[in-house]
């Protein structure tokens, strides 16, 4: 296992259209897990940071978590084989040895600055032996003398290793010198024994290179003549038969490697997208490039079988409809939540903590206490803000004594005055100037399923009654559009006045308003736009008041 594979990071993430609790709990819980384990836990967010949360993060000088649009498994999540790249002038023999050592069937050729140039496979090398009957292939492949010396385990006697053999053919001088004249041409490479006459003849016929076999010594006269005539001389311990067999293994891999139409993937690619491509090709291995196109490693189809998804901890939700995209392929380790039990199915058992309190941050606070981890002022500020936000400063029926106690203790550590801070925070959150209908509608929106019935509920909480009144005219037409876009049965939007602790509920969808009126025994407001509005005094909580009411009504 690669080191980095064992210490994979875990993303701690809240629901889509995140609220302050979702963001703050993710940051604070990731921090707690890092302190306790020393491993890599990163907070993420599954959507845009709303104004209220932005105010909180800015106030305590903390950056928003990274946006995670989906958690489908990517190439970077699986183990990439770090097969080292080689230079394209590497000899076939050396490439073959590297393959045997590393137990791989494909080697990538890369440039000095790491760009992929080509791939050589065991099959390419086998084909080079079986199909090559061309005696001039060595020069066609522009083979460097250094490769030839290395392959023949020989020594250079005259000439430079860095020169190239790039003209003639390869032949063995087995005949008498008087016969040799007929078949040696200028620029050839001649493999011969220790016969002085043959060596002399080859040099006089302007051979480019002579290879003297069986480790025979080369006389001074021959060396001198070779130097004058520009003929390269090398010796090898092998006999002529073996040298002739081996010499083609000195051809550089660039001559046989595949360079056109290479199929490579990037580390950002999703496994689901590349599976089909891999299945349709005959190769076993595929190169992986980073975002700058530099070679990183190889993956094979086999790597995909053992692909482990991204590791996730879910906070402040446990329903599939609210979770980040692609969650089905991720590995969920923990769920920390305070909502009704929804539909997240996990493959393995998970650590699941769900308490009937007003805010996930309260549970996170308790976990800091239980593990005796000191809470820093910034962390305290985030946790306290989340509790104020979720419980509407203790006014919501979801608020418990634990929430209130936690918030007050945390406000001391953070050095904030709860009432004063809360009103700045709510004012920032309900600042709707310059926002589009969509931004307002999705600022705090969740989807639900009961049986076959699907519905969505958005909410804006404000201290400003006039502002809420103005929103009615904007939200009703938008909800109609949103319901059609999502293909949902019903849409609701809560305009919640924090001061009067009441909600005007906008209803969209067949029978939506009648259902609410019956469920909450509410006064239906008559005629006009009011066809879609129900007043719900005393209702401020989506989670504890509105959703249970709708669920019961739908089931009936």
Parallel/antiparallel/unpaired status of strands 490-497 and 453-462: parallel
- In 3D space, the residue among 39, 43, 42, 44 whose CA is nearest the CA of residue 4 turns out to be 39
Cα separation, 131 vs 4, in Å, equals 43
Neighbours of 87 (CB within 10 A): 13
Within 120-189, residue ranges assigned H as helices are 122-130, 137-140, 145-151, 177-183
pTM (predicted TM-score): 0.74
pLDDT in tens, the chain (556 residues): 344 445 689 999 999 999 999 999 999 999 999 999 999 999 999 999 999 999 999 999 999 999 999 999 999 888 888 889 999 999 999 999 999 999 999 999 999 999 999 999 999 998 888 876 788 888 999 999 999 999 999 999 999 999 999 989 999 987 777 788 888 899 999 999 888 889 999 999 999 999 999 988 899 999 999 999 999 999 999 999 999 989 999 999 999 999 988 899 999 999 988 988 888 887 788 999 998 989 999 998 888 877 788 999 999 999 998 999 999 889 999 999 999 888 778 888 899 999 999 999 999 999 999 999 999 999 999 999 999 999 999 999 999 999 999 999 999 999 999 999 998 998 888 777 788 999 899 988 999 998 899 999 999 998 888 889 989 989 999 999 999 999 999 999 999 998 899 999 999 999 999 999 989 987 655 544 567 999 999 999 999 899 999 999 988 7
Cα separation, 124 vs 258, in Å, equals 9
Spatial CB neighbours of 75, under 8 Å, sequence gap ≥ 6? 265, 266, 267, 268, 269, 271, 274, 288, 299
Cα separation, 368 vs 515, in Å, equals 43
Cα separation, 183 vs 336, in Å, equals 84
Query: What's the burial of 54, exposed, middle or buried (CB within 10 Å: 0-12/13-18/19+)?
Result: middle
The pLDDT of residue 179: 81
Query: What are phi and psi for residue 235, nearest 5 degrees?
Result: -120, 155
The pLDDT of residue 7: 65
Question: In angstroms, what is the C-alpha Rg of the chain?
Answer: 37
Cα separation, 492 vs 1, in Å, equals 50
Cα separation, 153 vs 442, in Å, equals 72
The pLDDT of residue 529: 53
| 511-515: long-range contacts, CB 8 A cutoff, minimum separation 24 | 512/455, 515/490, 515/550, 515/553, 515/554
Cα separation, 41 vs 48, in Å, equals 21
CA 78 vs CA 153, 265, 307, 539, 540: distances in Å: 41, 13, 5, 48, 46
Q: By three-state DSSP, how is residue 503 classified?
A: strand
The pLDDT of residue 1: 39
For 299, the enclosing helix (H) or strand (E) is strand 295-300
Neighbours of 91 (CB within 10 A): 21
Cα separation, 382 vs 368, in Å, equals 14
CATH code that applies to domain 437-555: 3.10.310.20
Cα separation, 148 vs 160, in Å, equals 12
Cβ atoms of residues 211 and 235 within 8 Å: yes
- In 3D space, the residue among 291, 498, 467 whose CA is nearest the CA of residue 388 turns out to be 498
Q: Where are the domains of the chain?
A: 3-73+310-429, 92-255, 437-555
Q: How many helices (H) and strands (E) does the chain have?
A: 21, 23
CATH code that applies to domain 92-255: 3.40.1390.20
CATH 3.40.50.880 assigned to domain 3-73+310-429? The reply is no
- In 3D space, the residue among 33, 2, 252 whose CA is nearest the CA of residue 125 turns out to be 252
Parallel/antiparallel/unpaired status of strands 490-497 and 502-508: antiparallel
Query: What are phi and psi for residue 495, nearest 5 degrees?
Result: -100, 100
- In 3D space, the residue among 211, 236, 257, 296 whose CA is nearest the CA of residue 89 turns out to be 257
- Per-state percent for the chain, helix, strand, coil, to nearest 5: 40, 20, 35
User: In what side-by-side order are the strands of the sheet with 331-337?
Assistant: 66-67, 41-45, 10-13, 311-315, 331-337, 351-354
Q: Assess whether the region 3-73+310-429 and the region 437-555 belong to the same CATH fold.
A: no
């Amino acid at each position: 296992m690669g080191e980095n594979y064992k210490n994979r990071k875990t993303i701690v993430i809240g629901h889509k259209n995140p609220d302050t609790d979702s963001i703050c709990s993710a940051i604070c819980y990731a921090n707690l897990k890092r302190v306790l384990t020393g491993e890599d836990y990163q907070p993420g967010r599954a959507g845009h940071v709303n104004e209220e949360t932005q105010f909180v993060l800015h106030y305590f000088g903390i950056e928003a978590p990274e946006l995670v649009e989906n958690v489908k498994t990517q190439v970077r999540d699986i183990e990439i084989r770090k097969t080292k790249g080689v230079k394209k002038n590497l000899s076939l023999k050396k490439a073959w040895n590297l393959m045997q050592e590393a137990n791989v069937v494909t080697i990538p050729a890369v440039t000095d600055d790491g760009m992929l140039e080509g791939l050589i496979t065991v099959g390419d090398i086998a084909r080079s032996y079986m199909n090559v009957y061309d005696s001039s292939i060595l020069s066609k492949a522009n083979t460097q003398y250094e490769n030839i010396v290395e392959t023949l385990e020989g020594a250079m006697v005259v000439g430079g290793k860095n020169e190239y053999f790039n003209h003639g053919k390869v032949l063995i001088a087995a005949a008498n010198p008087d016969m040799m004249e007929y078949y040696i041409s200028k620029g050839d490479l001649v493999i011969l024994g220790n016969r002085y006459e043959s060596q002399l003849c080859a040099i006089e016929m302007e051979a480019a290179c002579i290879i003297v076999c069986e480790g025979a010594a080369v006389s001074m006269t021959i060396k001198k003549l070779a130097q004058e005539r520009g003929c390269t001389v090398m010796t090898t311990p092998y006999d002529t038969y073996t040298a002739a067999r081996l010499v083609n293994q000195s051809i550089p891999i660039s001559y046989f490697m595949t360079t056109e139409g290479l199929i490579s993937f990037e580390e950002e690619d999703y496994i689901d997208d590349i599976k089909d491509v891999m299945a349709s090709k005959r190769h076993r291995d595929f190169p992986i490039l980073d975002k700058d196109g530099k070679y990183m490693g190889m993956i094979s189809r086999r790597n995909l079988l053992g692909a482990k998804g991204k590791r996730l901890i879910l906070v402040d939700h446990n329903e599939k409809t609210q979770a980040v995209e692609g969650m089905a392929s991720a590995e969920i380790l923990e769920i920390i939540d305070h909502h009704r039990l929804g539909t997240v199915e996990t493959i393995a058992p998970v650590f699941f903590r769900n308490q009937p309190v007003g805010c996930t941050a309260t549970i996170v606070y308790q976990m800091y206490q239980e593990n005796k981890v000191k809470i820093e002022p910034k962390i305290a500020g985030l946790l306290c803000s989340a509790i104020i936000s979720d419980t509407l400063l203790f006014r919501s029926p979801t608020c418990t004594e634990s929430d209130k106690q936690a918030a007050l203790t945390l406000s001391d550590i953070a050095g904030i005055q709860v009432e004063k801070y809360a009103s700045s925070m709510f004012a920032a959150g309900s600042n709707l100037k310059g926002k589009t209908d969509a931004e307002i509608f999705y600022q705090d929106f969740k989807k639900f399923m009961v049986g076959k019935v699907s519905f969505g509920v958005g909410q804006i909480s404000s201290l400003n009654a006039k502002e809420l009144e103005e929103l009615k005219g904007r939200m009703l037409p938008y909800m109609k559009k949103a319901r059609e876009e999502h293909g949902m049965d019903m849409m609701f939007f809560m305009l919640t006045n924090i001061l009067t602790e009441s909600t005007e509920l906008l209803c969209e969808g067949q029978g939506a308003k009648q259902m609410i009126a019956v469920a909450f025994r509410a006064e239906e407001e008559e005629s006009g736009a009011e066809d879609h509005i129900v007043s719900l005094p005393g209702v401020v909580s989506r989670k504890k008041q509105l959703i249970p009411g709708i669920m019961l009504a739908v089931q009936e």
